[in-house]
């Protein structure tokens, strides 16, 4: 086996996997804290990429500022979506919540096609075409940035959940919403914050991954599917699980595509999740209810 190619495929897989982790973290938070399966999560990823693009082209902002602005605006949109759809439905049947998120996803994707146009777009980043040679491995600066930014953001999210007041409120709500409400926690506020955090993370991953590919209004589909695979495999509600499952999926896809069959690359990912679920029906890192 050619070691250079092997190392390169591992590196490709780790970068792709980290992008999956970033997408999945928001998804798993929303489920862990609020018990909502949000099919519209991918659309917030799409909005993040597009807002970064428009902030760059229309407002003339540099890439980093545009990405941060995009994430903040999408976080606010997440709060709006929560107020309009998910909060009023919180006591309804899980099908109703799941399907209204599916409807929301269709609505955002189709509005996006109308507003942004069908032509593909490219998010300009100064790091996109700059090549870094790390030993025998070749990566662009943008791909290194995806990985590094994701690590930084995940550490920040972890510390936030662990030590901040809101983080504690989120964990209390995840364990027992009614109990949390009784102790005086404002559940409505927890809903808003969780959505802001999750949608902001989705948008940030869109802004980071954007310059490595082209963007078009239906990319949200791809993002939410990858996100779900990772979340289910890692265990619904588990951030640690999402981290391991995301990296695992990225590397296995890359090695599977590189050494077995490129055509079946996606199928390999799905086969992996099925194997995991048959072995541990609730995912790799699932224990009792709560946020980990």
Partner 1 sequence: MLGRRDLIAAAATLALAIPFVGPSAGALAQQPPIRIALIGPMSGTGAFEGQLGLEGAQAAAAIINAKGGVAGRKLELLNYDDKGSPEDGVSAAKRAIEQDNVDFIIGGWFSAVALSMKEVTRDKIITVMTSSQHPKVTEEGHKYLFRLNATSAMMSNFYSKAICGQIKPKSIAFMNVNDDWGRLELDNYTKLLGECGIEIKGHEFYNRTDTDFTTALTKLKALNPDAIYVAAINTSQGATIYRQVRQTGFRGKVIASAGNMNPKLVELSGNSLESVYSASPFVEDNGQPSMKPWLAEYRKSYKNEPSFIAALGAQGVELIAAGVAGTGGDPRAYDKIAAYLKANETPTVLGNVRFSDQGQATQPIHLVQVKSKQIVAVRD
Partner 2 sequence: MNAKHISLAGGVLLLGILPFLAGNAYLEHLLVLWMLYALLALSLNIIIGYLGELSFGHAAFVGVGAYTSAILSTQLGLPPLIGLPLAGLVAALFGLVIGYAALRVVGPQFAILTLGFGSILYTVTNHWVDVTRGPMGISNIPPLSLGPVTFTDARETYYLVLGLVLVVAFLCHALVNSRTGRAFIAVRENAPLAASLGVNVFHTKLLGFVVATAIAGVGGAIYAHYIKVITPDIMGVHNVAALIIVVVVGGRGTIVGPILGALVYIGLLESLRVAGPLRMVVFAALLTGTVVFLPGGLVSLWQRWRGNHKAENNATATTAPTTLPNAEGGAK
Verify binding: residue 287, partner 2, rule CB under 8 A.
Answer: no
**What are the CA-CA distances from residue 94 to residues 40, 99, 130, 237 (Å)?**
15, 8, 46, 16
Burial state string for 158-179 with b = 16 or more CB within 10 A and e = fewer than 16: eeebeeeeebebbbbbbeebee
Q: Find out whether 44 and 203 touch, Cβ atoms under 8 Å.
A: yes
Question: Which lies closer to partner 1 via its Cβ, residue 62 or residue 92?
Answer: 92
In three state form, how does the secondary structure of 162-198 look?
A: HHCHHHHHHHHHHHCHHHHHHCCCCHHHHHHHHHHHH
111: partner contacted, choices partner 1, partner 2, none (Cβ within 5-8 A by kind)? partner 2
212: partner contacted, choices partner 2, partner 1, none (Cβ within 5-8 A by kind)? partner 1
253: partner contacted, choices partner 2, partner 1, none (Cβ within 5-8 A by kind)? partner 1
In the complex, the smallest distance separating the C-beta of residue 8 from partner 1, rounded to whole angstroms, is: 5
Stretch that binds partner 2, among 53-61, 119-127, 251-259, 264-272 (CB under 8 A): 264-272
Verify binding: residue 212, partner 1, rule CB under 8 A.
Answer: yes
Residue 88, SS3? coil
Site string for partner 2, 68-107 (x = CB under 8 A): -----------------x--xx--xxxxx-xxx-xxx-xx
Residues contacting residue 49 through CB under 8 Å, at least 6 positions apart: 70, 123, 203, 206, 207, 209, 210, 215, 219
Q: How many CB atoms lie within 10 A of CB 211?
A: 27
Selected from 118, 148, 152, 275, the binder of partner 1 by CB under 8 A is 118
Question: Which lies closer to partner 1 via its Cβ, residue 152 or residue 213?
Answer: 213
Residues at the contact surface with partner 2, assessed by CB under 8 A: 31, 37, 85, 88-89, 92-96, 98-100, 102-104, 106-107, 109-111, 113-114, 221, 225, 228-229, 232, 236, 261, 263-264, 266-267, 270-271, 273-274, 277-278, 281-283
């Amino acid at each position: 086996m050619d070691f250079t190619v092997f190392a390169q495929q591992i590196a490709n897989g780790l970068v792709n996997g980290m992008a999956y982790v970033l997408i999945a973290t928001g998804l798993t938070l929303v489920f862990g804290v609020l018990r909502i399966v949000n099919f519209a999560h991918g659309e917030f990823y799409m909005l993040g990429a597009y807002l970064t693009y428009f902030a760059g082209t229309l407002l003339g902002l540099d890439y980093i500022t545009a990405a941060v602005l995009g994430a903040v605006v999408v976080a606010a949109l997440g709060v709006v979506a929560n107020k309009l759809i998910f909060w009023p439905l919180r006591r309804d049947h899980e099908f109703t919540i799941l399907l209204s998120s599916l409807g929301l996803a269709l609505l955002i994707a189709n509005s996006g096609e109308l507003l942004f146009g069908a032509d593909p777009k490219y998010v300009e980043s100064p790091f996109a075409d700059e090549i870094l040679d790390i030993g025998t491995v070749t990566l662009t600066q943008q791909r290194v940035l995806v990985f590094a930014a994701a690590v930084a953001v995940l550490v920040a999210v972890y510390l936030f959940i662990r030590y901040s007041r809101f983080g504690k409120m989120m964990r209390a709500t995840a364990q027992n919403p009614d109990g949390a409400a009784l102790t005086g926690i404002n559940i409505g506020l927890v809903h808003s914050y969780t959505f802001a955090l999750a949608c902001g993370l989705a948008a940030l991953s869109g802004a980071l991954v954007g310059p490595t590919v082209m963007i078009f209004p239906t990319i949200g589909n791809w993002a939410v599917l990858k996100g779900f695979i990772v979340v289910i495999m890692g265990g619904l509600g588990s951030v640690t699980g999402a981290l391991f499952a995301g990296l695992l999926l990225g590397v296995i896809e890359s090695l599977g595509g590189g050494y077995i069959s490129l055509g079946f690359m996606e199928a390999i990912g799905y086969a992996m999740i099925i194997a995991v679920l048959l072995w541990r029906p609730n995912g790799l890192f699932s224990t009792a209810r709560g946020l980990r």
